[in-house]
A and B are shown apart, each in its own frame.
Chain A
Amino acid sequence: KNEVEQSPQNLTAQEGEFITINCSYSVGISALHWLQQHPGGGIVSLFMLSSGKKKHGRLIATINIQEKHSSLHITASHPRDSAVYICAVRADGLTFGKGTHLIIQP
């Protein structure tokens, strides 16, 4: 079974700061998802990666298949980025990290 570790668990930063959230997994995968969950519970899929790097607006996601590691970066962070960010990996099934609770203070 794939073990998915996310760090940090909690992160508080000031508006404008560059944010990095990390995700490591233990066995080979076919895809990795980054998800965003807002306080109301709704989940948005931010990225799906199997290699390399993707960018969408202020969000960047990278994955290193050899090192079994992915990062999610947020540039010029804003209070509306406050949410829980979840990494999920797909191999035989779908395994989720515990999430990173991000708070961006104005």
Chain B
Amino acid sequence: GAVVSQHPSRVICKSGTSVKIECRSLDFQATTMFWYRQFPKQSLMLMATSNEGSKATYEQGVEKDKFLINHASLTLSTLTVTSAHPEDSSFYICSASRVGVNSPLHFGNGTRLTVT
């Protein structure tokens, strides 16, 4: 099956620093990638949708200047949490899909971010 690799799996950073999370589709071309956030014991919250070569579409309430998303190629999207604060500590997950609104979703294993 399709594989999506997300890196790093865990990261601890200090307040004020920036953290980059990578999401790669290993065996298919992902025209669309999604970024999610999950708080403890809660469901996934879609943060943004990115299409290769164009600007990401952010969900309401998600600060695009704080969560920078780049989808420069068909196999790589990155999420950068800028000037991280402790409240940004969360579980971040990406998923990727091929072209087509009804293509299956393939998920990365997630990144546990802790901001101290």
Contacts and interface: CB of A to CB of B under 8 A. Distances in A.
Interface of A: 30-31, 33, 35, 40-45, 48, 50, 86, 88, 90, 93-99
A77 B107 CA distance: 24
11 contacts: A31-B102, A40-B109, A42-B110, A43-B95, A45-B105, A90-B101, A93-B46, A94-B49, A96-B43, A96-B46, A98-B42
Interface in B27-79: 34, 38, 42-46, 49, 59
Nearest to A41: B110
Nearest to A1: B60
A50 B101 CA distance: 11
B106 interface: yes
A98 B112 CA distance: 20
A96 B44 contact: yes
Counting chain A CB atoms within 10 Å of each CB, which of B34, B44, B109, B110 scores highest? B44
Contacts, number: 53
Interface of B: 34, 38, 42-46, 49, 59, 91, 93, 95, 101-102, 104-107, 109-110, 112
A48 B49 contact: no
Determine the main DSSP class of A at the interface with B.
strand
Counting chain B CB atoms within 10 Å of each CB, which of A35, A45, A86 scores highest? A45
B7 to A, nearest CB: 14
A93 B93 contact: no
A30 to B, nearest CB: 6
Counting chain B CB atoms within 10 Å of each CB, which of A30, A41, A42 scores highest? A41
A94 B91 CA distance: 18
A14 B42 CA distance: 25
A43 B107 contact: yes
Nearest to B103: A48
B109 A97 contact: no
B24 to A, nearest CB: 16
A31 B101 contact: yes
